[in-house]
Amino acid sequence: MDLHHWFEIDPDIRKASTLPSRFYFDAAIFPELRERVFAPSWQLAGDADMVKVPGQVHPFTLLEGMLDEPLLLTRDTSDQLHCISNVCTHRGNLVAEAGGVEHGLRCRYHGRRFGLDGCFHSMPEFEATQDFPTASDDLPRIPSGNWEKLLFASLAPGAPLEQVIGPMRERCGWMPLREAHFHSARSRDYLVNANWALYCDNYLEGFHIPFIHAGLAGALDYGSYRTELFEWSNLQVGIARGAEEVFDIPASSPDHGQRIAGYYWWVFPNTMFNFFPWGLSVNIVKPLAVDCTKVSYRTYVWDPSRLDRGAGSSLDRVEREDEAVVESVQKGVRSRLYDRGRYSPTREQGVHHFHRLLARSLSA
């Protein structure tokens, strides 16, 4: 499908119009996203605590609902971390169906064995097979990397991981991320009856905060709220209003001396990293259908004493407020009387940036 003429976004935000409304509800466009936008992207695969000790394995699905790729995190006996395919190279069965500590990997269908690094080891009843084994009998290795304990994977990277998350690492690398622990009670999934990109559009601007989020508006100084753009990501900086909870920012940071209540990072195309004085809330936006999205909140806490205060409190309420307005927009964009809007040059730089990256990906 030739999408180029549909999704041209003027680089000058003062002249540009938004994505055409068709993008948000046309079922024919949705499958194009899988290979053009999501397969080349870097996705959060989990954290190092999932495979903490040598021999540990953790099967997972990369971006369920969109990519649905069965993968496996392993830590071998040499303490090396691997991200490999979880699909047996014989007949396609899942190799590991549950996590645990193993000496190796064995497919229960026909007994093919692999090392924890994915290398083929043995296979019964294959003695007469010619030119066997070859490299194609190993479990494919998936491009992967990490920032502290956060693990990332990509099926076909469109850019190196460091190029994608480097600005976030450089700006927030002083935070004690390696000390953060996953908090299951504060992690949950939300089902939103709207297109995934509408959810991202909403996240990428603070324009709506005074109108939609009364509680959050009371914690942040809207006049000082700002957006910074990078190649594959952008950052919204929330300045505290009054005596709200703020970061203890070191002198080495360019933000030293500022009363920052939250760093809101978005990484193309669908992941948000929200840093608060108590820790990190990761939002993974998972497209399930053209008008249905799952948003997975994953919470990591490094300072429990600072929970439930400031901009990082009441995240569930903020989420429900966002859901309601985004679902309303999903109904509105179907109108025959609406096609494209315009951007606020002072408040919607992040949305414009997102749309330009989408247009570039879909036009490739």
Give 20-29 pLDDT, tens digit per residue.
999 999 999 9
344: confidence class by pLDDT, cuts 50, 70, 90: very high
101 DSSP β-pair partners: 56
Contact 152, 44 (CB under 8 A): yes
The pTM for the full model equals: 0.94
As a whole number of angstroms, the distance between CA 162 and CA 264 comes to: 19
pLDDT value, residue 235: 97
Q: What's the CA dihedral at 270, 176, 50, 73 to 10 degrees?
A: 60
pLDDT value, residue 364: 72
Give 158-180 pLDDT, tens digit per residue.
999 999 999 999 999 999 999 99
Give the Cβ contact number of residue 61 at 10 Å. Answer: 12
pLDDT cut 90: percent of the chain above it: 83
Ranges of each domain in the chain:
43-153, 162-363
Phi, psi for residue 109 in degrees, rounded to 5: -70, -55
Q: How far, in Å, are 66, 190, 266, 292 from residue 186 at the CA level?
A: 25, 13, 20, 23
Question: Is the peptide bond prior to 133 cis by the omega test (within 30 degrees of 0)?
Answer: yes
pLDDT value, residue 225: 84
Class of domain 43-153: mainly beta
Give 189-213 pLDDT, tens digit per residue.
999 999 999 999 999 988 777 777 7
Contact 272, 286 (CB under 8 A): no
pLDDT value, residue 209: 79
Q: Please state which of the four CATH numbers 3.90.380.10, 3.30.70.890, 2.60.120.260, 3.40.50.300 is assigned to the domain occupying 162-363.
A: 3.90.380.10
312: confidence class by pLDDT, cuts 50, 70, 90: low
Contact 112, 132 (CB under 8 A): no
Check whether 184 has a pLDDT greater than 70: yes
285 DSSP β-pair partners: 295
HEC-encoded secondary structure of the chain: CCCCCCCCCCCCCCCCECCCHHHHCCCCCHHHHHHHHHCCCCEEEEEHHHHCCCCEEEEEEECCCCCCEEEEEEECCCCCEEEEECECCCCCCECCCCCEECCCEECCCCCCEECCCCCEEECCCCCCCCCCCCHHHCCCECCEEEECCEEEECCCCCCCHHHHHHHHHHHHCCCCHHHCEECHHHCEEEEECCCHHHHHHHHCCCCCHHHHCHHHHHHECHHHCEEEECCCEEEEEEEECCCCCCCCCCCCCCCCCCCEEEEEEEECCCEEEEEECCEEEEEEEEEEECCEEEEEEEEEECCHHHCCCHHHCCHHHHHHHHHHHHHHHHHHCCCCCCCCCECCCCCCHHHHHHHHHHHHHHHC
pLDDT value, residue 258: 94
As a whole number of angstroms, the distance between CA 325 and CA 327 comes to: 5
pLDDT value, residue 170: 97
Fold match between 43-153 and 162-363? no
pLDDT value, residue 319: 81
Give just the sign of the alpha carbon dihedral 227, 230, 234, 235. negative
pLDDT value, residue 50: 96
- Residues 6 or more apart whose CB falls under 8 angstroms from that of 2 comprise none
Check whether 2 has a pLDDT greater than 70: no
